[in-house]
Amino acid sequence: MEENKKYTAQDYKSDQYVRWCPGCGDHAILNALQKAMAEVGIPPYKTAVISGIGCSSRLPYYMGTYGFHTIHGRAGAIATGVKVANPELAVWQVSGDGDGLAIGGNHFIHEVRRNIDINILLLNNKIYGLTKGQYSPTTDRGAVTKSSPYGTVEDPFIPAELVFGARGTFFARSLDVDTATSVEVLAAAARHKGASVVEILQNCVIFNNNIHSYITDKEVRAERTIHLHHGEKMLFGKEMNRGLVLDGHLLKAITIGEDGYTIDDVLVHDATTQNFVMHQMLAMMDGHELPLAIGVIRNVEAPTYDGEVTRQVEEVRQKKNYPTLRDVILSGDTWEVK
């Protein structure tokens, strides 16, 4: 049976030459996605990858699945149509920070709110790559870019906040340089029913080089990130001897054995609790005072939009039992001319 066939990452590759700049974070993300798809095992012909416009949005061309590189900002709306029309498909969306959160911000919050079963990859390089280096809605305040020569005078979005604000059911984060975590969270996103947002911090070597280095550099990564696993203690650090505890209503990073803290004080991550207050606090950590959270931060169940549309159509259909349109019309006010 085809369904039982084991797929490899190779099965999800297309014959197209990959054209991102050498060293661009997108290369690693593409590989991680293909590995995750192989791991989940939905066949390439039952997979559709939809993107908007941007460097990151070129990704579908490199996939051996069905793909659609659409228009700037609209990937979410188009992916929504694909999923509702053909719920059997595994639908992925690939958007940059500009594509997904600026021009496409409206579609983004609505697809999350609807909880349509799409896996949304948000490749966040905090810059407009394709148009050669303008600031984006995730660019830090004050950043000097081509369109902000004196620094930006606006605050960025934190994508997770938008997701929780839109009552999202799944949020995960990874780093382009951390393929293992990327594969893990992408596979988890694929398995989650509903809108699954995966933010991947991506380096644009050309227009925003090292923008995430503070967190992603090998020497500091273990201290400045925490990999959350559902049901496990929130531990981090090279020696895994640091942890997160509650201090009043706020999170605090402690070292086990210091200041009287023991392993028992360290919080256990619960990604599946409906209440998003803790998820929000975790997602807001930025690697400075508290480590930046990677892994699956929130993963809860809720009815999906596509599932509900299908269910409602079936329910009404059975109840009314009209074989065709003509039967519907004949059930209204009509008259005969003989």
Ligand X SMILES: Cc1ncc(C[n+]2csc(CCOP(=O)(O)OP(=O)(O)O)c2C)c(N)n1
Residue ranges in 237-266 that form contacts with Mg ion under rule CB under 5 A: none
Q: Does 55 bind ligand SF4 (CB under 6 A)?
A: yes
Partner whose binding site includes residue 215, from ligand SF4, other proteins, ligand X, none (CB under 5 to 8 Å by kind): none
Least Å distance, CB 205 to ligand SF4, is 5
User: Distance (Å, rounded) from C-alpha 68 to C-alpha 8?
Assistant: 22
Backbone angles phi, psi at 159, to 5 degrees: -50, -40
Partner whose binding site includes residue 97, from Mg ion, other proteins, ligand SF4, none (CB under 5 to 8 Å by kind): Mg ion
For residues 103 to 132, the per-residue mask of contacts with ligand X, x marking binding by CB under 6 A and - elsewhere, is --------------------x-x-xxxxx-
Q: Spell out the residues 6+ positions from residue 11 whose beta carbon is closer than 8 angstroms to its own.
A: 38, 44, 64
Backbone angles phi, psi at 242, to 5 degrees: -110, 155
Backbone angles phi, psi at 173, to 5 degrees: -140, 150
Q: Are 171 and 200 in contact (CB under 8 A)?
A: no
Q: Are 244 and 250 in contact (CB under 8 A)?
A: no
Binding-site size, Mg ion (CB under 5 A):
3
Amino acid identity of 55? C
- Transcribe 212-225 into DSSP letters: THHHHSHHHHHHHE
Partner whose binding site includes residue 88, from ligand X, ligand SF4, other proteins, none (CB under 5 to 8 Å by kind): other proteins
Residue ranges in 19-58 that form contacts with ligand X under rule CB under 6 A: 53-56
Least Å distance, CB 145 to ligand SF4, is 13
Packed helices 75-85 and 305-320: angle between N→C axes, nearest 10 degrees? 40
Residue ranges in 81-120 that form contacts with Mg ion under rule CB under 5 A: 96-97
Among 9, 38, 72, 234, binds ligand X (CB under 6 A): 72
Q: Spell out the residues 6+ positions from residue 79 whose beta carbon is closer than 8 angstroms to its own.
A: 48, 50, 91, 92, 93, 111, 116, 118, 120
Q: Does 98 bind ligand X (CB under 6 A)?
A: yes
Residue ranges in 48-77 that form contacts with other proteins under rule CB under 8 A: 48, 50, 53, 60-61, 63-71, 74, 77
Q: Which residues bind other proteins (CB under 8 A)?
A: 2, 14, 16, 43-46, 48, 50, 53, 60-61, 63-71, 74, 77-86, 88-89, 106-107, 110, 309, 312-313, 316-317, 319-320, 322, 324-326, 328-330, 332-338
Q: Which residues bind Mg ion (CB under 5 A)?
A: 96-97, 125
